[in-house]
Structure 1
């Protein structure tokens, strides 16, 4: 059953701006978005979980090279779990080289070359290397189909409910690889929140020099939009032009998706204008700093009866510039939680309800580990529970 936990801080009815009574608050109405000549568009603020704009967010489309973000994230998960290291070397085998040498975007891998996971990740994220993605997938999973299975399992584990991947690089496969804008926003949030150091290392680089060949990153926002650091563009004749992008300013991290653009020019213009509109038209209102205790959740069968909850990123909410609204916060979780609980494990969500807007949720994680209770602790907890 969903429960609302007790707050450690009094913040159930925060009001932005002057604190006007709710009856006097104006309707929440942001400035009109820029003309977006794309059929699919989504803009989300990760600090609040709020959707700032949505056009066909659940419509399936072929992501083309944006698929490589899923490959990179899957590798990030393996690195974090200690299954591989960036220094691990993989072999460019004959079959993969024959299939992918010179096919589309490339990092110009040589046949039988040994190359590190680190270098392959740079190739994938900076110059969209099809050969790099294939070598990485084959080297880590033994085959491309086995890697696709791993990608799909990883996607399901983070809540991408309407996506499927059959290639590591998004090459045309008659529509077997598909996703939605909402799922890509979920992917971006998981990658940036779970693996901030890896994200910062591999995304947003302007150039790559490998095998004495230098290439530049063609993403449309990095170096153009203030605070932008990627993430990935994509194009095939079947998919059209798309872009998954992100930028951070003053603690606000926006993620945008545009897809199905008929031309690269339209995609670039829409990608840049969309992010700029999000920062210009909405004001961020901070609530909690990164790592600050937001509240607590009850624990059953643990060495402690409660666990403090924190966010892995700063938490706030957005309002259109110059507007005010009443904001109600509540912590939601399936509880009481059952021990053991790992430190950093996501166990709850902070619901942010801005009057006039749809409520949004931000993940909360356990601030400390909670072990299973021993006999003495169970007795103490049982007696305490009576009172």
Structure 2
């Protein structure tokens, strides 16, 4: 059974309009970006979506999953940034100068550290293959791990057939919502690795320096990545992020027809995300927001707490009646550990997707002894 505890809150916000700010920033029109998605990952709130679950070909945005998998393997001790990999002759023949490249020579010995940086910043197709073969033994084994981690992230509309997004007759596909979830995982689960490898202005290897073609780095305040993509079939796309004052936005645009249009749309879109909403703090980190019923425990309920400061975005210039729900599958069953994620806070602003915030147990609830279970049963029958 799903339990809901609801509260109603009305907020009035002054100043600019929802679809376009006074500075000229705005969400892209459908003719500009058929697929568009923007989420405030610090609040869990979707600020804009269009065709967010439509499957499309990600092209080189696929490499964001290769980067994420590399970060996961480093964390698990299965990949060492200082490890040296050798370029196989067959790999060099197939990938030398093929699309975006880090210009790996035949039989080159290259550190994992350089491979990840090249994949992240100059979209190295050759580097992606060398990393996959060097760690997993074969490209197929690496791709299998990519798909396993995509499932763990809840990327239900995605499948990867290559480490680099090279055209594969449609076997590789994703959605804007899935890509945003991947972007969130990169910055939230691996912040130090993300800061080290992603978002450089350029990359130099073997005496060759190339610029990063990311459309917002150095042009949008707080921008720090993540990955562009292009093929003739897919058009131009971008998975990007920026952070200002503790607020991090992740955006996806896809199906754009020109590189200049992608740059313009991306900059306007993410600036709009920062400018068009009023950000309000609802609860501080660790705030107690309600209680959940517990079955079979030494207490009949447990207090629910936030595990981070909770913010909500409301379009400027509009009065919105906001509904806040506490949702959990219950009654919960003991034992419950302090800090265990047992419920969620749903913040509903009309016209916007719900913001979902995890709630944790503020204290432990142990399994009840025999007499306590009898007492709880009688008390539950009487109340």
When normalised by structure 1's length, the TM-score is: 0.82
Q: Which residue of 1 aligns with 2:60?
A: 65
Q: Does 1:364 align with 2:358?
A: yes
Q: Which residue of 1 aligns with 2:70?
A: 75
The 8 Å contact of residues 37 and 176 in structure 2, kept in 1 or not, is answered as yes
**1:180-191 map, 5 Å:** 180-191=175-186
**In structure 2, the residue corresponding to 1:268 is in which secondary structure?**
helix
What displacement does 1:87 show? 3.2
What displacement does 1:299 show? 6.5
Bigger drift between 288-297 and 138-147 goes to 288-297
Deviation readout 1:307-336 (Å, 9 max, x if unpaired): 865446x43111111323232323323345
**In structure 1, the residue corresponding to 2:319 is in which secondary structure?**
coil
Residue of structure 2 aligned with 1:280, choices 270, 275, 278? 275
Deviation readout 1:274-311 (Å, 9 max, x if unpaired): 11122221111123456666666666788997586544
Q: Does 1:332 align with 2:350?
A: no
* 1:141 to 1:297, Cα distance in 2 relative to 1, 3 A: farther
Deviation readout 1:95-122 (Å, 9 max, x if unpaired): 3222222211122233444433332221
Residue of structure 1 aligned with 2:228, choices 233, 237, 259? 233
Q: Does 1:110 align with 2:98?
A: no
Residue of structure 2 aligned with 1:141, choices 118, 136, 139? 136
The 8 Å contact of residues 340 and 370 in structure 1, kept in 2 or not, is answered as yes
Q: Which residue of 2 aligns with 1:16?
A: 11
The 8 Å contact of residues 351 and 359 in structure 1, kept in 2 or not, is answered as no
Larger Rg: 2
The 8 Å contact of residues 28 and 36 in structure 2, kept in 1 or not, is answered as no
Equivalent pairs counted in the alignment come to: 369
Q: What residue ranges of structure 2 are gaps of 5+ in the alignment?
A: 21-25
What displacement does 1:172 show? 1.0
In 2, distance between residues paired with 1:189 and 1:163? Answer: 16
**1:220-369 map, 5 Å:** 220-289=215-284, 306=302, 309-311=305-307, 314-335=309-330, 347-354=342-349, 356-364=350-358, 366=360
What displacement does 1:49 show? 2.6
What displacement does 1:194 show? 2.1
Deviation readout 1:242-266 (Å, 9 max, x if unpaired): 1111112232222211111111111
The 8 Å contact of residues 349 and 361 in structure 1, kept in 2 or not, is answered as no
Q: Does 1:3 align with 2:30?
A: no
Q: What residue ranges of structure 1 are gaps of 5+ in the alignment?
A: 6-10, 19-24
Residue of structure 2 aligned with 1:203, choices 181, 198, 202? 198
The 8 Å contact of residues 295 and 310 in structure 1, kept in 2 or not, is answered as no
In 1, distance between residues paired with 2:83 and 2:245? Answer: 36
Q: Which residue of 2 aligns with 1:30?
A: 18
Bigger drift between 114-123 and 66-75 goes to 114-123
CA RMSD of aligned residues (A): 3.3
In 2, distance between residues paired with 1:351 and 1:60? Answer: 27
Q: Which residue of 1 aligns with 2:23?
A: none
What displacement does 1:385 show? 4.3
The 8 Å contact of residues 47 and 317 in structure 1, kept in 2 or not, is answered as no
What displacement does 1:48 show? 2.9
What displacement does 1:273 show? 0.9
Q: Which residue of 2 aligns with 1:194?
A: 189
* 1:239 to 1:382, Cα distance in 2 relative to 1, 3 A: same
In 2, distance between residues paired with 1:55 and 1:30? Answer: 16
* 1:121 to 1:30, Cα distance in 2 relative to 1, 3 A: same
Deviation readout 1:198-225 (Å, 9 max, x if unpaired): 2222222112222232222110001101
